[in-house]
Structure 1
Amino acid sequence: MFLTKISVGLCLVLAAVHIQRSQAAVEQLEHLPDELQKYLDTLHTTGDLTEQSGRLLFWASINQFISKFVESGPELLPEQETYLRECLEDAIYPVFMYGSNVTHYGERVKRQAGPARRVRREIRTMTVNERFRYFNAVNRMKTDTSLPPNVYDFLAAYHTGENIGRAHFGPAFPSWHRLYLWIYEYFLRLQDPTVTVPFWASVLDDAMPDSAQTVLFTPGFFGNPDGVIRTGPFGNWPQINPQTSFSRNVRGGELFTYAGVERVLRRRRNADILIPTAQADSNFELQHGAGHVFVSGDMNNLNRAARDPIFFSHHSFVDQIWQRFRNNQRRSGINPQTDYPFDANDPRFRPQHSPSATAGFTGLGGAETWTQSLGYINAFDNLVFYEDVPECPSCGNSPYLYCSFTMGRCVSRSRNDMRGRPDVQRFTPPGGRVARQATQDSSWGVCQKWTLFNDVDTKWMQRSYLPPGSPMYTWAYIPVKVVIKRPPEYHGFEQYSLYNQVSHAPYSYKDELYRGGSQKRCERCFDHLDTVGKITIVSRGLNYGGCADESVLLDNRLPVSEGKVAVPVKMPLGSESSEVILAAFDPCGRACKPLFKKASYDGTVTDSKFSGGIKVTYSQPEQFSHSYSEAYLNMWDVHSPSSCPTQNDHDTMVTFYCDYTDPWIWEPTQGSQIWSEFETTQEGVGYQA
């Protein structure tokens, strides 16, 4: 017995030593980068995870941080500089000439009778010819080399790098994108003066049983929903960097909702709907983020989002909503032009969003004087007219919509509904031949495909950070365990549920398995839950420009279920480490709690809550793998030819526990600069914990 106790104690000590040593390969970051922490803390001041979607909070914050990882574009030649300057001056001329109370480079201009207002309508209410004319004009921009490398990609590059900080996370969010749409539409109309940017009213798709099946992701609209875009008007588009691809990974989930839009429209001040002072239930920018996350792929990374033409239709709808908001302001006696919310004494407001700060459309000449408040002026209201979102019973007489009398709302038809229509199955340029498609959309089969799991090829994601001559292996694969508690909203197989059961003392800490979480879920959470639960793990580089999304499938019927997944991060090179943040979310947008394995030399091994930040090094023993196959083989032990495989958790340092009980996850870590600021300004509004 004495020898047995010695053996057991020795094993525990060796296990603890193994975990401590292995932290040299996968370590917990002491704290998140201060810049990222400030973004998270700013959103925390507007509401916690019981009031706002954890998925969208994280998305908005991390996209601000990773905007620094941007690819550089080609330089302008002298003749291109002249062309751009003349175009931008011509584009802004109607705003200054035909608006009211507008100053043109320091000179007040009287309002005059101007051109007819441009009419923007929902893309499904356009005629086939109107829709294809628009697509054709976009394609002409892609082949027009008046600006390098072409007009479309040159304009897309405006929505990258430092301009992400100007366009997002502040009161200039709607105004910057309004100005951006105007510039984009100007160049579009150089190709075809009859076209305008149609808006994508995603409320029509959110109302579908499965919004991922919308007719919009067909060859006759925006092309295939998953992978590299091969079908439709933008199929096989070349990219600036030949190592990257223009891709999507459309997933089920929330988009703009009727209820969410109504909450925004009930407000009367921009301060109530815009970061950093937005009310938790009507944060306009976070609501818009749902569309980016839904389309995913390039759209999920703001540095790359404008490469997908659906970006401009998405933001046309954002602008349509903001125009309705501004119309409501006028009815309430508020001048929208002067309602720019900025407080220089509030540390949550960043200088880039000062009304006098540059909007960042630096293309020579007058564009360098365009300020963030320019998009607020009333002139745009006189130049652009938005049609209403289609309503029942006619739904704009669109064959791609139908009236749901149970909801009293118009709903988009699915790909399966429209599979017999030639104008949906293929893109035909106006007056031209049917465009050849590289592949056939798989949705035209006999049975409708209900997507549960979209396998993501992470190899396309931002490989440009690796210079020529880099090692063969560019990704390291980290094992991550996921444990979920049965979602309270799932009502199948009630006999397996522990909810509403009576707690008994002998179970001690297991009592928490009887309690449901309180985190905010998306409004149609019930529609996104099934027997098979899907948890999405996101990996975002903190010192490199890489990203990856992975998923693990679990059993929602059981009180507790667990699974494992291999998450890609950049392979560390030599003495250089890879720093990354990991986060996990369920289909309802709720955040899972990240835990890191720690051990002491007395043999105690515990999982401690942390922010999700890790550092990966090439120290021994390695706790990562060089391929998916190696990663999954390392998750299992087989001790003999006849033995049953057993799980190997020795090198699984990160676990996500999805119980949805934490009101916040990304608190400042003691010892960081943000923590010091918090300690000295606990009564301030800037970084409340």
Structure 2
Amino acid sequence: MNTMGILLRLSLAATLCYMVYSKMTIIDTPEVLKACCNEPRFHTKEMDPRLDNIQQYCIQKFRWHLQSRNPNSTDETAHYIEELLRMAQKESRSKRQVDRRRKEIRRATDKERQDFFRAINLLKRDTDVKPNRFDALGLLHQQRGDDVHHGAAFLAFHRVLLLIFENALRQKVPGVALLYFDSRLDQPLRDPTRSIIWSPQFLGTVKGRVTDGPFRFWQTPAGPLVRAGGHEGEYFTYRHIRAVMTRSRLEEISEPHAPPPFDFEIRHGDVHQHIGGIMSPAETAGFDPVFYMHHTFVDYLWEVFRRSQKEKGVDPTRDYPTRYGTSAHAPNALMGLGRLRNIHGMSDMYTARMYTYEPSPTCSYRNPSCGSRYLTCNFRFGRPQCVTLEMITPTAPTAPFGSATNGQTPQQQTQLTPGFPNFSGNRIGTFPPRFGRKKRQAVGVVDASRFSTMGQNVLSQFGQNGLMQFAQNKTREMQNKKEEVKMGFPTELENNMDVFQKITEDGKEIILSPMTNMCPPTVPTNVIQNLFQMNGISDSRIWVYIPVQVIYKRQREQMVFDSFPIEEGQMQMEKDIYDPTLYSSLKDNFILNVNYSRSCRDMDGIFTKIMVHSDGLNYHGSFREFAVVDSRQPYTSSTIYIAIKSPEKFDTEAIFAAYDPCGNVCKPYCKRFGHFQPCDGSLKFDNTPPKLYGKDYGEAIKLVWGITNEGIPTFRPDNIQLQFVCN
């Protein structure tokens, strides 16, 4: 009887434990999602692109299936498309010289750029086609969904869509042409979000709601126009494009079979992720004008690829892949743009009769000019390369940690500096490697934190008259040096190219600063503005929050910090108190393990940012947040609060994922019967009490934090059901 009583009590305890945690159930990840993530082409020794980008690509592909409820285009939109296609047809039959010349946006004249922005805004205000002519085209892109993505028709469809959009612009402002955004010019910056491209004179706010620039305070069918630049993904690089250009056939760079690093569609998606906000989900990307500028650059690169094909003896008009993906990507399948079929997008007619491209900006030792006052020729890459100018806004370097401000208001004076390579770190003059540790220099470097003050006071130091005199003197010096340049590294010229310039546009003053060593803050200064969009409805009240713990183990190959022990009055500069390999109690747990040959410097700082995602499995919505951990410590943790669909009425199924700044995927652990166990990160929630979620952010915090009678906050980890281990 005693034994039976013990068994009964154990059974009852197990049942009660199950009941307590029944509201969060570990579920299987959908097979279609697992199959995508497990594709052999994504698991090669030369893995590229990053693992986080691959996982997000697969989730985006899965999301299109949830988007299938979207209705087809309205008759009104269909007639509008037919009207714009007739314009193209008429122009293709004309014998006049092609007058559309698409340029990189920083190479366009001020008038060309302003006309372009004006035409976009006129489309946005024209409601003759519902909801307006601009968003009608964005909705068309959304409704086409997977039929024009993840397959061979991707490039052809978007080429025709761009032509339709360009014709719509020309209806409003005759003679206007599309401008493209070559993100390779921004990628080398330490902080690409400070590129001039995101200034009020160009595309406006890149962090948070767009509150300045030509598209300020736009409302879209997905809610306010929002961006979340710099948190995820990456811009195009010259290395990326060189890899694509080594291929000869469209099938070799197209979904669904192109292997990394040649998959052009996946690579283009990294830029969507890097801009973030409405640009991040493909189904809402068409509501941000940046979408068209990014895709115009993609089309430009495809045209370069097609010219390369001709040089190799391949006819690009007949090079439609035989392995094209789903039936919607078949060569004779309808595009959904009038009566055009996918194969029609392969024609040479577009660039022969309708538009041409001005080549992307370049420079050389003999001609160190990029042809734009918004670009500078940089020689720090082994060969000359055009790089965008940076903004130096007074508030950006000193914004409080976690501030939502973007430091880019129309009233502020924007200062710019010639772009500097993307070498992360807390000090200037060091280039810490990702793999293979390097002791930081103790002397001969300048603390980057000082530059924020210097940047703010640059005008007061010189004064307006002194500033312009300095600029004139430096310009004369540079012109004299140009004549002395020979082949090789032009050190003197480079040092004298950083000159002050004063530019005034629309009453706003832009200052180009010679201080090329401006560094971004070592901690994130901007939170992520989520869309809170679910099944087409943007409303944060239909979301709930769950606490998630991020556990971080310092990587052995991370940089060493400058904090030295002192023995008998002497500083031991060959040691570092934060280096775990110096301690016998820790060193066995920090063995160098190089998984990939690709270098990454994004984790070489005092703080490391871990991105955490939730994506719906039975609803169409996503949420992004990041945890900040102290990279000096061997082990550390952070608790954040992730939003999911409210399970108050119907159960919620979601998949969670976390990534470090180098794209490595953190391992999820789910609590079951009071203990954390490895899982896929796919979970189901219901409303069974006690609820382990908060109906709002405050309730979620109260789940894991209490207050003693003395007013001391106390941490209660028992209510945390999900954790990620990043090691």
TM range (shorter): 0.7 to 0.9
Is 2:229 aligned against 1:250?
yes
Is 2:400 aligned against 1:419?
no
Cα pair distance change 1:166/1:77, threshold 3 Å? closer
Cα deviation, 1:205-253, whole Å, max 9, x if unaligned, reads 0011211111111111111112221211111223346xx2111111256
Tell me the equivalent position of 1:331. Answer: 311
Alignment of 1:52-131 (within 5 A): 52-67=49-64, 68-69=66-67, 76=74, 82-94=79-91, 97=93, 113=95, 115-116=97-98, 118-131=100-113
Q: Which amino acid aligns with 2:642?
A: V
The secondary structure found in structure 2 opposite 1:147 is: coil
Alignment of 1:570-581 (within 5 A): 570-574=645-649, 576-581=650-655
**Separation of aligned partners in 2, 1:45 and 1:152:** 36
Alignment of 1:141-156 (within 5 A): 141-156=123-138
The secondary structure found in structure 1 opposite 2:370 is: helix
Alignment of 1:512-527 (within 5 A): 513-516=590-593, 518=595, 525-527=600-602
The secondary structure found in structure 1 opposite 2:128 is: coil
Cα deviation, 1:258-278, whole Å, max 9, x if unaligned, reads 111111112212222222221
Is 2:431 aligned against 1:360?
no
Contact 1:529 1:587 in 2 (8 A): no
Contact 2:668 2:678 in 1 (8 A): yes
Correspondent of 1:391 among 338, 347, 362: 362
Contact 1:171 1:341 in 2 (8 A): yes
Q: Which amino acid aligns with 1:388?
A: P
Cα deviation, 1:90-148, whole Å, max 9, x if unaligned, reads 334545x48xxxxxxxxxxxxxx454152111100111111101000111111223322
Cα pair distance change 1:464/1:271, threshold 3 Å? closer
Correspondent of 2:283 among 286, 291, 303: 303
Correspondent of 2:121 among 118, 122, 139: 139
Deviation, 1:52, is 3.4
Is 2:638 aligned against 1:563?
yes
Give the TM-score of the pair, scaled to structure 1: 0.77
Alignment of 1:646-661 (within 5 A): 646-659=714-727
**Separation of aligned partners in 2, 1:93 and 1:304:** 31
Cα deviation, 1:31-76, whole Å, max 9, x if unaligned, reads 2234433443447557489443122112222222223348968975
Is 2:672 aligned against 1:598?
yes
Cα pair distance change 1:311/1:620, threshold 3 Å? same
Tell me the equivalent position of 1:431. Answer: none
Deviation, 1:354, is 1.5
Contact 1:498 1:514 in 2 (8 A): no
Deviation, 1:559, is 2.2
Contact 1:401 1:410 in 2 (8 A): yes
Deviation, 1:479, is 1.1
Deviation, 1:628, is 1.5
**Separation of aligned partners in 2, 1:41 and 1:373:** 31
Cα pair distance change 1:419/1:503, threshold 3 Å? same
Contact 1:492 1:531 in 2 (8 A): no
**Separation of aligned partners in 2, 1:88 and 1:251:** 36
**Separation of aligned partners in 2, 1:617 and 1:194:** 57
Contact 1:519 1:590 in 2 (8 A): no
Cα deviation, 1:271-322, whole Å, max 9, x if unaligned, reads 2222222121222112111211111010011111111101110111111111
Cα pair distance change 1:210/1:395, threshold 3 Å? farther
Tell me the equivalent position of 1:224. Answer: 205
Alignment of 1:436-515 (within 5 A): 450=521, 452-458=524-530, 460-462=531-533, 473-493=541-561, 495=576, 513-515=590-592
Cα deviation, 1:448-506, whole Å, max 9, x if unaligned, reads 86472421343x42156569xx9x942211111111222455313273666877999xx
Q: Which amino acid aligns with 1:495?
A: D
The secondary structure found in structure 2 opposite 1:582 is: strand
Deviation, 1:164, is 2.2
Contact 2:200 2:212 in 1 (8 A): yes
**Separation of aligned partners in 2, 1:656 and 1:520:** 25
Tell me the equivalent position of 2:702. Answer: 633
The secondary structure found in structure 1 opposite 2:331 is: coil
Is 2:679 aligned against 1:610?
yes
Tell me the equivalent position of 1:622. Answer: 691
Tell me the equivalent position of 1:381. Answer: 351
**Separation of aligned partners in 2, 1:536 and 1:328:** 39
Q: Which amino acid aligns with 2:83?
A: E
Tell me the equivalent position of 2:609. Answer: 534
**Separation of aligned partners in 2, 1:328 and 1:573:** 57
**Separation of aligned partners in 2, 1:555 and 1:16:** 38
**Separation of aligned partners in 2, 1:318 and 1:291:** 11
**For structure 1, which segment, 530-539 or 275-284, has the greater mean C-alpha deviation from structure 2 after superposition?**
275-284
Give the TM-score of the pair, scaled to structure 2: 0.74
Unaligned runs of 5+ in 2: 1-6, 394-412, 417-500, 509-517, 562-574
Cα deviation, 1:508-541, whole Å, max 9, x if unaligned, reads xx956424362686x6x31564211101111111
Is 2:386 aligned against 1:410?
yes
Cα pair distance change 1:75/1:258, threshold 3 Å? closer
Cα pair distance change 1:131/1:94, threshold 3 Å? same
Cα pair distance change 1:187/1:465, threshold 3 Å? closer
Cα pair distance change 1:404/1:331, threshold 3 Å? same
Percent identity reads 28
Cα pair distance change 1:75/1:534, threshold 3 Å? closer
Is 2:629 aligned against 1:554?
yes
Tell me the equivalent position of 1:4. Answer: none
The secondary structure found in structure 2 opposite 1:282 is: coil
**For structure 1, which segment, 481-490 or 226-235, has the greater mean C-alpha deviation from structure 2 after superposition?**
481-490
Contact 2:310 2:316 in 1 (8 A): yes
Q: Which amino acid aligns with 1:22?
A: V
The secondary structure found in structure 2 opposite 1:540 is: strand
Deviation, 1:12, is 10
Contact 1:84 1:147 in 2 (8 A): no
**Separation of aligned partners in 1, 2:201 and 2:176:** 17
Contact 1:228 1:248 in 2 (8 A): yes
Tell me the equivalent position of 2:437. Answer: none
Correspondent of 2:340 among 356, 364, 370: 370
The secondary structure found in structure 2 opposite 1:121 is: strand
Alignment of 1:160-179 (within 5 A): 160-161=142-143, 163-179=144-160
Tell me the equivalent position of 2:218. Answer: 237
Q: Which amino acid aligns with 1:353?
A: H
Cα pair distance change 1:475/1:400, threshold 3 Å? same
**Separation of aligned partners in 2, 1:539 and 1:465:** 17
**Separation of aligned partners in 2, 1:581 and 1:275:** 24
Tell me the equivalent position of 1:351. Answer: 327
The secondary structure found in structure 2 opposite 1:124 is: coil
Tell me the equivalent position of 2:401. Answer: none
Number of residues paired by the alignment?
Answer: 587
**Separation of aligned partners in 1, 2:326 and 2:156:** 16
CA RMSD, 1 decimal: 3.4
**Separation of aligned partners in 1, 2:580 and 2:251:** 40
Correspondent of 2:161 among 180, 195, 208: 180
Correspondent of 1:200 among 174, 181, 187: 181
**Separation of aligned partners in 2, 1:299 and 1:146:** 25
Cα pair distance change 1:579/1:629, threshold 3 Å? same
